[in-house]
Amino acid sequence: MLRVSFITLIRALSGRNMSIFTQCLNPLTGVASWEEKDQYYDYHQEVARSAFADMLHDHERNKKYYIALKTAIEKKHRAGEEANVLDIGTGTGLLSMMAAKCGADTITACEAFKPMANCAAEIIRENGFEDKIKLICKRSTKMTIGKDGDMPKRANILVTEVFDTELIGEGALSTFRHAHEVLLEENSIVVPHKGTVWAQVVESSKVCAWNRVKPIKNGETLVDAPSTIQACSGAAAIHDMQLSRLPRDTFVPLLPAQPIFRFDWSGNKPLLNNEKVSLCTQPITSGTAHAIFMWWDLNMDTDDQVLLSCAPVWEHPDVPDKMKKDFSCLQKMADSIPWRDHWMQAVYYLPEEIPITRGVEVNLIGYHDEYSFWFKLLNGPINEIPDCQRPECNCWAHIAYSRTRIGQLNDAVRNQRYLRALRKKITPNSVCLCMSDGCLLALAVARLGAKVFLLEQNFLSRRTMEMFVQANELSDRVKIIESIDGLPEASEIDFIFGEPYFLSSIVPWENLRFWYLASRYPSSIMRMPITATIRAVAVEFKDLQKIRAPLGICEGFDLSSFDRLVQMSSENSDNPVEAQPLWEYPCKALTSCFNIIKLDLTRNVNFDERKKITGEIPILHNGSCNGVAIWVDWQLDSDISVSSGPIEEIVPGERVSWDPYTRQGVHLFRRIFNVMKKNTLSWSFSFVPQNGEVEFEFSISTNA
């Protein structure tokens, strides 16, 4: 369900309790309705979204913060000073408890999010540090110093983790700057001490496919991309990605990876909100520059002895140089470097593709404001760094469609399967109705000679498709319809098709919206796809389970109160199945893939039918069963299908290769099961067509 932003509070009939009514749009039916929720529903949503268990599962991060804190406290003590620690954004209180264990004289922790501050207070008390740590529930920028203030005097050690994938995106610059101005003594030690942003220019048609819509070709160009879309630099937001999972043979580094921005958190150098720098570099090979790969590292201590790196595997300092040149070895080494979903790498797309030549120097120019980076590449020497505004989409396509969807539109294999199936059905006399958002295949059908009605209910997608229609001079063959009220009569069409894809869909089966829309017409009208099969496989995720896995004891501290808080809120507000791009998250199959339900899309939805299906599938490989992956296979005709799941046959015990241009559904077990071949996965599926409710349940059972 998609919940819109406005919420109405009303009193329950008792006149005492409060209920929250949320307006929900069902992606399958397209019907908006009001749902009554517990009065604390908003609270539970906030808490569940604030979960950062994957960060606390990051042992390297925790260990290096611990080492740097211990070093800082000992350094102050050796100098004959007290060690007065300020922990900004304490979260669970973990770093403050580390400081206490390392012998800090005073510790002040601040946490602005009240539910988390309350949780931290409980954790600190349960671990026996209540008398050592003072907890302040406010933002650090609101803290006061003095006799009646939040701290009696300034601190001389600051520890904080206010970083995101883009390093500065959570307001690190203003947080550190304010701390030095108001909360810290001169010559304070800051953990971490420095931050360095690295950039690498690459050529990669695969990566570029997530950014610019390309023409659809079948020997000839069937659908061309408007010039405004081809020239657009793309969405302003970064494309965060687990770059270590990108096959090494899908990109070519054109410039060596190099530091482009350095931030001194210690206060010795000013932290500026706006900077621009230029790196004059010799290309290591010739090619076309498509994008910038970016990551960062932290020098945790003042002596630069402890480095925390977020580099991808081929540039990671812990990977031997000889292995970085072996593509097959790199894929194995990717499993050995620390996994972080909270600090991924980032892709920045260049405003325009730049051809560069080995031996001819280029200038990589980096810019940043208070929260974001962007880049420009220029051939040859420059006398002055030019100003450059942060790129923003001006073509509408990047606002209408996600990067995953743009990649899907550019998937040549997928497009060719659709075209083969469509060519069997389409004649120059065909009159077709396309029910999908942003379906360029509808224009390909028009190019093949058919007349096409295209339902586009979303304004942004409709405007984008109008650009494509005009650019391809198909206005006489394609009519865009704004709402279901404008759909043609059944007598006017002879073929209904879709990919299916809808902007409102999050998990693959929500694209069954196509079935609901098609059911407005007699089932005698030919349709494509003809069936949808929801399929699943039990898996052992290498890392993804950490985003939900309980912490228990973390670095010697009991954080079970945090586990209870997040689990309770998640159970109250989260769907047990979420969408994830599984190509970025390695997993091993523990069962064969199995069918949950096969739906006949050539027959209209039976709104009076309720489906409840149960089943079992044997475990075929020993391992830790921590999740189930779910997807949909769409059968276009008797011979051709497309999948939103694996791109190769699933083999129990082997890693699964996932489609990189869709997100799959994932059920993560709250308890991880060590399974053997004598175990089974039990499952149930319920579907209420009347209101579009879909529910999955999974459990591990032991055979007698």
- The beta strand positions in 520-663, using DSSP E, are 526-528, 531-541, 553-554, 557-558, 577-580, 587-589, 594-600, 611-618, 623-635, 641-643
What are the tokens at 227?
A: 């010039």
Q: Is 71 helix (H, G, I), strand (E, B) or coil?
A: helix
Q: In what side-by-side order are the strands of the sheet with 362-368?
A: 275-281, 362-368, 373-379
- Taking CA 193 as the corner, what is the angle to CA 366 and CA 161, rounded to the nearest 5 degrees? 85
Using DSSP's 3-state secondary structure scheme, residue 665 falls into: strand
Burial bucket for residue 329 (CB in 10 Å: 0-12, 13-18, 19+): middle
Is residue 620 within 8 A of residue 682, CB to CB? The reply is no
DSSP one-letter string for 296-321: EEEE-STTS--EEE---GGG-TTS-H
In whole angstroms, give the CA distance from residue 271 to residue 176: 8
Determine the Cα–Cα distance for residues 234 and 350; give it in Å rounded to an integer.
Answer: 9
Q: Are 163 and 196 contacting, i.e. CB atoms less than 8 angstroms apart?
A: no
User: Using DSSP, how many helices (H) and how many strands (E) does the chain show?
Assistant: 17, 37
- Residue 538 CA to residue 624 CA, distance in Å, equals 10
* Cα–Cα distance measured from residue 306 to residue 65, given in angstroms and rounded to the nearest whole number: 9
Mark whether 648 is an active-site residue. Answer: no
Which amino acid, residue 258? Q
Q: Tell the burial category of 609 from Cβ atoms under 10 Å away from its Cβ (0-12, 13-18, 19+).
A: exposed
Length of the chain (residues): 704
From 161, 510, 540, 584, the catalytic residue: 161
Annotated catalytic, 170? yes
Do the bridges between strand 133-136 and strand 106-110 make them parallel or antiparallel, or are there none, so unpaired?
Answer: parallel
User: Catalytic pick from 46, 81, 170, 353?
Assistant: 170
The residues annotated with a catalytic role in the active site are 161, 170
